[in-house]
Structure 1
Amino acid sequence: MGVTPFHLVYGGETVISAEVGIEYDRVQQYDADNAERRQLEFDLVNETRAKAAAQLTTYRQRMRQRYNRWVIPRSFQVGDLVWRKVKLVGDVGKLEAPWAGSFKIVEKLRSGAYYLEDKDGR
Structure 2
Amino acid sequence: MSFSLTYGAEAVIPVEVNLCSARVAGFASNENEELMAKELNLLEEHRDVATIRLAEYQQKLARRCNRAVRRREFAAGDLVLRKVVGNTRETSAGKLASTWEGPYRVTAIAEAVAYYLEDLEEKPLHRPWDVRNLKKFYQ
TM-score (norm 1): 0.70
Secondary structure of the residue aligned to 1:101 is strand
Residue 103 of structure 2 is aligned to residue 102 of structure 1: yes
Offset, 1:107: 1.3
Aligned-residue RMSD, C-alpha: 3.0
**Which of the two has higher C-alpha Rg?**
2
Q: 1:101 to 1:71 in 2, by over 3 A?
A: same
Offset, 1:24: 9.1
Q: 1:24 to 1:121 in 2, by over 3 A?
A: farther
CA distance in 2, matches of 1:99, 1:49: 48
Q: 1:30 to 1:71 in 2, by over 3 A?
A: farther
Residue 54 of structure 2 is aligned to residue 60 of structure 1: no
Structure number with higher relative contact order (C-alpha < 8 Å, ≥ 6 residues apart): 2
Tell me how many residue pairs correspond in the alignment: 107
Which position in structure 1 is the counterpart of 2:6? 13
More helix by share: 1
The residue identity in structure 2 corresponding to 1:107 is A
- Of 85, 89, 113, the residue aligned with 1:87 is 85
CA distance in 1, matches of 2:103, 2:77: 12
TM-score (norm 2): 0.63
Q: 1:24 to 1:62 in 2, by over 3 A?
A: farther
CA distance in 2, matches of 1:87, 1:47: 48
Residue 43 of structure 2 is aligned to residue 42 of structure 1: no
**Identity value in percent:** 33
